[in-house]
Amino acid sequence: MEVQTVADKIRVLLTEEEVNKRISEVAAQISSDYKGRPVHLICILKGGVFFTCELAKRLDLEVSLDFMSVSSYGSGTESSGIVKIVKDLDEPLAGKDVLIVEDIIDSGRTLAYLIEVLKQRNPKSIQLCTLLDKPERRVKKQVQVKYTCFTIPDEFVVGYGLDYDQKYRNLPYIGVVEV
């Protein structure tokens, strides 16, 4: 009897080429919007690393970068609903134009919490940029996304930083786990 793994059940949703093309388009828009102003990227770990690196390379701006780990996920495929800061920022935000870079926005709980925390640090502005958005899953409707690469259906996705139990982050495309 042949054993099937999760990797055998991954269907390509967005190819590497599609992802790279769209990141370039979004980077051009951000570069235009922030023209002449430095932008402070906040990469949301762990999933946001791949997207943040690719986005930052394509920005025609002065960029500073910091990392934050905010979690509402357990080891499964559903959000726990409990948000916690696992790793805080190293740099102050006062007076900076901040762009939060996220791999995926699902319920919006994590980002709603994060935005409230970061507003207390007096940035000049806060905007959101995400690789993937699932607006139909949004419970926190006040989360407004300025830059979205792709709006996707409510399916569990992996690749390009997104994982299934800490696996498959390194896939160069976005795939759907079909169980």
3-state SS, residue 112? helix
CATH number at residue 22: 3.40.50.2020
Would residue 171 count as lying in a domain? no
Count: domains in the chain: 1
What is the per-residue pLDDT across 17-68, written as a single tens digit (0 to 9) for each? 999 999 999 999 999 999 999 999 999 999 999 999 999 999 999 999 999 9
Instruction: For residue 51, tell me if it sits in a domain.
Output: yes
89: containing domain: 16-155
pLDDT at 88: 94
Residues 6+ apart with CB under 8 A from 88: 68
Task: Please check whether residue 159 is in contact with residue 168, taking contact to mean a CB–CB distance below 8 angstroms.
Answer: yes
Whether 169 is in a domain gets the answer no
Indicate the pTM of the whole model: 0.89
Going by C-alpha positions, the residue among 45, 53, 39, 64 that lies closest to residue 127 is 39
Which active-site residues does the annotation give? 106
